Chain A
Amino acid sequence: MSEKKKDELLHDHNHDGVDRRGFLKCMAWAGTGAFCVMKGGVLKSYSLSRVSEISTADMMGELSFVQISDSHMGFNKPANPDVAGTLKAAVDKINALSSAPEFMLHTGDISHLSKPEEFDTVDQILKSAAPKDVFYVPGEHDVLNDDGKQFLERYGKGSKGAGWYSFEKKGVHFIGLVNVMNLKAGGLGTLGHDQLEWLEDDVKHLKPSTPIVVFGHIPLWSVYPEWGWGTEDSAQALAYLKKFGSVTVLNGHIHQTMQKVEGNVTFHTAASTAFPQPAPGKADSPGPMKVPAEQLKSVLGITDVNYIQGKHALAVVDSSLA
């Protein structure tokens, strides 16, 4: 692909106004999760489905963890009648990693309909994963009918508000945000005043050299507002993170991988362990993509990443597999 050489936008969806200068994006029908390694304060993320191609040296860093997302336990439509099976397959890949990740992040839509048995099933499957600690943020499917009460009871211990929190691991500051509550008609994901205020306070005393990893369900950048793929007040959140040299934002929700670098911030969205969704604007709606049964595993399991490398220092993240 000759466009790979260009230091400009990857226009892969008909110049629909999503892209802009300084934008770096990689997309793929994607794997089952992401292996993330922090090295020299910069986070690199690799699709689990291609992790066998990563050299041992590349997998070593100050800290490594795994992101999984959108397991949608309880979904049983043709796009994937066995979401438990594909989640187990993701766990198998995690357990096969030569360098054991320290913990896992789940970026929401654990369940499909917020049913207790759906959460139970995910908990049971994740028990067999090598990393014992899992940090969660809710997706909109996890807070149906009860304003997130059940989610908080199960996963929100020690969190604030609707389930936001932060923690430190080996000098890296992790921030779990909730942007799926109190959504307004016609709008996008929302963080809300209370959470923004907490965030400002949470990072105020950190040194600018502290690497920051933010994780939340709905993308914190405008992937495709027409389908609600963005967060109303994310700009305010990112403004509080301006002073930091390395900020990584990990999201789910859109069931495909995308990356973008903007200034000091690298944005990633993770694939679903359950079913793929169409690329922005490539279908009538963002509903599940149906693929023939014999192809499903390959859609979920194989990543074909096209990289456009920018000149920005951080633009090399994710490039190693290209």
Chain B
Amino acid sequence: MRRSVFIAGLATLTLGTLGFGTGQKSYVASAQEKMSTMEVKIDNFSFGPATLTVPVGATVTWTNRDDIPHTVVSTDDSKTFKSKVLDTDEKFSFTFSKVGTYPYFCSIHPKMTGKVIVQ
């Protein structure tokens, strides 16, 4: 039991590190990194990065690091994604299967906006 928890923890850590390193270099993931998780942090009532470019098939994960709840709601015509309310440290993920630009906002604090560009 203890061991499996440890392994799961390690796996999360590895993935997290990979995602972070990718973000540091460039927000455009290479074809090899296609399946990696791209992250958007919600800090101080803003999405970071506000514009994220990812390849088709990438999964983007938003994490709320504020003391106040936020949402992630797309504003394109077909309303592609909509999270539940994310309390502190809660996450929302969406996998982008089509090329396009996906603007989104926090429906509780509409001044908070961002976009995902899928190439």
Contacts and interface: CB of A to CB of B under 8 A. Distances in A.
Contacts of A284: 44
Contact of A227 (B85, B104, B111): B111
A155 to B, nearest CB: 19
A285 interface: yes
A261 to B, nearest CB: 27
B110 A145 contact: no
A287 interface: yes
A129 interface: no
Interface string B56-76: 000000000011110100010
B12 to A, nearest CB: 24
Contact of B69 (A113, A187, A228, A286): A113
Contacts of B69: 112-113, 141, 144
Contacts of B104: 185
- B68, B104, B108, B109, most chain A CB atoms within 10 A: B68
A78 B68 CA distance: 12
A140 interface: yes
Interface in A179-198: 183-188
A226 interface: yes
Contacts of B111: 186-188, 226-228
A220 to B, nearest CB: 17
B33 interface: no
Nearest to B87: A113
A79 B69 CA distance: 14
Taking chain A's interface residues, is the majority helix, strand, or loop, or is none over half, making it mixed?
loop
Interface in B69-119: 69, 71, 75, 84-85, 87-88, 103-105, 107-111, 113
A288 interface: yes
A79 B67 contact: yes
Nearest to A227: B111
A127 interface: no
B37 interface: no
Contact of A287 (B66, B84, B107, B113): B66
B46 interface: yes
B110 A183 contact: yes
A72 to B, nearest CB: 9
Size bracket, chain B contacts: 20 to 34
B45 interface: yes
A6 interface: no
Contact of B110 (A113, A114, A184, A287): A184
Interface in A190-243: 226-228
A285 B44 CA distance: 5
B72 to A, nearest CB: 12
A149 interface: no
A77 interface: yes
Contacts of B113: 185-186
B71 to A, nearest CB: 8
Given A286-B45, A287-B44, A144 B68 contact: no
B108 to A, nearest CB: 5
A113 B103 CA distance: 25
Interface string A61-100: 0000000000000000111000000000000000000000
Contacts of A285: 44-46, 66
Contact of A144 (B45, B105, B108): B108
A287 B105 contact: no
Contacts of A145: 84-85
23 contacts: A77-B67, A77-B88, A78-B67, A112-B69, A113-B87, A114-B85, A140-B108, A140-B109, A144-B69, A144-B85, A144-B108, A183-B110, A184-B110, A185-B103, A186-B105, A186-B113, A226-B111, A227-B111, A285-B44, A287-B45, A287-B66, A287-B68, A288-B68
